[in-house]
Structure 1
Amino acid sequence: MMKKTKAHFTCEYIINPQHRISVNLIGLGGTGSQVLDALARIDAALYKLGHPGLSVTCYDADTVSESNIGRQMFSPADIGLNKAVCLATRVNRFYGLDWEAVPEFYNLHSTPANITVSCVDTVKSRLLINDSLKSNYSANYLTNPYYWLDFGNSAKSGQVILGTPKKIAQPKKSTYNVVSKLPTIMDLYDLTQIDENESGPSCSLAEALKKQDLFINSTLAQLGSAILWSLFREGILNYHGIFLNLKTMRTNPLLLK
Structure 2
Amino acid sequence: MIDLLTYHKKKGDEVASFRYPISKLYYYIVMIGAGGTGGYTIQRLSKMMNAFDSVKSFLLIADPDSVEEKNLLRQPFIQQDIGLKKADVLAKRYGATYGLKIGSYSDSYIESVESLEQLFSLTDFRHEHGQYIQKVLIGAVDNDFSRSVMNEYFNMTDDLIYIDAGIEGVFVPSGNKPTQEWTPDEMLDHMESGYSGQVVVGVKKNGQVVLPALHSVYPIDEKDAIPPSHNCGIEPYQPQRMIANEMAAFQISTIVNELFSSNSIYIHYANFNARAGSCRPIYAEDSYIPSSHNEAHLQPS
Q: CA deviation at 1:15?
A: 7.1
Contact 2:157 2:207 in 1 (8 A): no
Structure 1 regions of 5+ residues with no counterpart?
1-6, 138-144, 170-179
Say which of 91, 110, 118 aligns to 2:139. Answer: 118
Any stretches of 5+ residues in structure 2 without a counterpart?
Answer: 9-21, 121-134, 169-193, 288-301
Distance apart, 1:192 and its partner CA: 3.6
Report what 1:40 is aligned to: 46
Residue type of the alignment partner of 1:67: K
> 1:133-178 CA distances to partner (integer Å, 9 max, x unpaired)?
33343xxxxxxx4201111101211111111144689xxxxxxxxx
1:28 to 34, 40, 43: 34
What is the TM-score normalised by the length of structure 1? Answer: 0.77
- Paired with 1:212 and 1:184, the residues of 2 have a C-alpha distance of 24
Question: What is the 5 A alignment of 1:57-68?
Answer: 57-68=60-71
User: What value does the CA root-mean-square deviation take over the aligned residues?
Assistant: 2.8
Which among 135, 142, 149 is matched to residue 128 of structure 1?
149
TM-score by length of 2: 0.67
Distance 1:85 1:166 in 2: 32
Q: Distance in 1 between matches of 2:207 and 2:154?
A: 14
Does the 8 Å CA contact 1:62/1:82 hold for their aligned counterparts? yes
| 1:81 paired residue number | 84
Is the counterpart of residue 157 in structure 1 residue 178 in structure 2?
A: no
* Inter-CA distance 41–15: structure 2 relative to 1 (3 Å threshold): farther
Q: Is the 8 A contact 1:40 1:95 kept in 2?
A: yes
| Residue 140 (structure 1) aligns with | none
Distance (whole Å) between structure 1 residues aligned to residue 91 and residue 28 of structure 2: 15
Q: Distance in 2 between matches of 1:251 and 1:194?
A: 29
Which deviations, in whole Å up to 9, do the C-alpha atoms of 1:175-224 show, x marking residues without a partner?
Answer: xxxxx711110121221456588997687xxx99x621221101210122
State the partner residue of 2:2: 8
Kept in 1: contact 2:258–2:266 (CA 8 A): no
Aligned to 1:148: 162
Deviates more, 1:228-237 or 1:25-34: 228-237
How far apart in 1 are the matches of 2:70 and 2:267?
35
- Contact 1:168 1:181 (8 Å CA) reproduced: no
- How far is the alpha carbon of 1:236 from its aligned partner? 3.7
Query: Could you tell me whether the CA contact under 8 Å between 1:57 and 1:99 is conserved in 2?
Result: yes
Give the distance between the partners of 2:72 and 2:248, measured in 1 at CA: 19
Change (3 A) 1:42 1:168: farther
Q: Give 1:93's aligned amino acid.
A: A
Identity of aligned residues (%): 25
Counterpart position of 1:240: 268
- Which residue matches 1:56? 59
Q: CA deviation at 1:241?
A: 2.0
The amino acid that maps onto 2:61 is C
Would the alpha carbon gap of residues 15 and 216 (structure 1) be closer, same or farther in structure 2, given more than 3 Å must change?
A: farther
CA–CA separation in structure 1 for the residues paired with 2:23 and 2:211 = 17
* Aligned match for 2:279, one of 235, 251, 254: 251
User: Any idea what SS the aligned residue of 1:73 has?
Assistant: coil
CA distance in 1 between counterparts of 2:279 and 2:72 reads: 27
> 2:33, 2:114 → 1: CA distance?
17
In the superposition, relative to structure 1, how do residues 97 and 150 fare at CA in structure 2: closer, same or farther (>3 Å)?
same
Whether the 8 Å contact between 2:40 and 2:75 is mirrored in structure 1 is yes
Aligned length: 225
Aligned partners of 1:10 and 1:232 also within 8 Å: no
Name the larger-Rg structure.
2
